[in-house]
Amino acid sequence: MGTRLEGKVALVTGGARGMGEAEARRFCAEGAKVVIADVLDDIGQTVAADLGADAAYVHLDVSSEDDWATAVAATVERFGAPTVLVNNAGIARYETIDRMPKEEVVAHLSVNVVGPWLGIKSVFEPMRRAGGGSIINIGSTNSVRGAAGATAYATSKHAVAGLTKSAAVELGPFGIRVNMVLPGGVATPMIADAAPWFGPAPLDNSPTEWSLPLKRWGMPEDIAAMVLFLASDESAYSTGAEFVVDGGMTADHPFKPAAAWVEHREALLAESRD
């Protein structure tokens, strides 16, 4: 058991699985009280129960302002005012512009942008009254680059970068830091769920097949380590900043093209030549 987060109360969205679960587990191991918030109720409750008395679960649709009010109130009642917020919940669905319905774009903006914005708004008052805290927004390497099929996702993650910097300016005078982590090449259920776009069993693809300098998939625990640093007082002079954890992905060519994009692109090019 560590003490890097001793005395802190953390609210982690999307905490039922993947990076959110890894963050919640690492936070508890470092002495924090943790509220896991998600829409995956059964999984989230199981994780919270496994973590014991220092963890609790609350249902939270991050696009719902009412759900946010309930989640923050439950956090205050159970453990006290949140001093750490991790805006980890997000969605990623891939499709080309010509095939993606507007509703999918709106859904990405609602969950990936409005969700963190509502989270920051909801914790501001209790966090301010507690004397400050740390807010960590989970972005993506798609916060700084584009990718075929990712117009909705990349647009939303670029927006999170603007949200992070603007919130850091507003909240800094109140002792609240706002930073952003940019994961890339991480083996999570979200990537596994994207098989229709990237091809069957995308996590079975070896990172040695594309230009990832560290030549391995990142693990949720790799991201949790950076989030822990930003949640702790060790990062006390960092705000409005982006912390990339991608195995060097953005230092080189990002990754090999998605199977669905290549198929669609070649079909349209062939049609153009006819």
Show which residues are catalytic.
153
Q: How far is CA 63 from the centre of its chain?
A: 14
d(CA 211, CA 64): 39
Three-class secondary structure of residue 84 per DSSP: strand
d(CA 186, CA 268): 31
Q: Give the number of other Cβ atoms within 10 Å of residue 224's Cβ.
A: 26
The answer to whether the CB of 34 falls within 8 A of the CB of 88 is: no
Handedness of CA 110, 92, 59, 34 (dihedral sign): negative
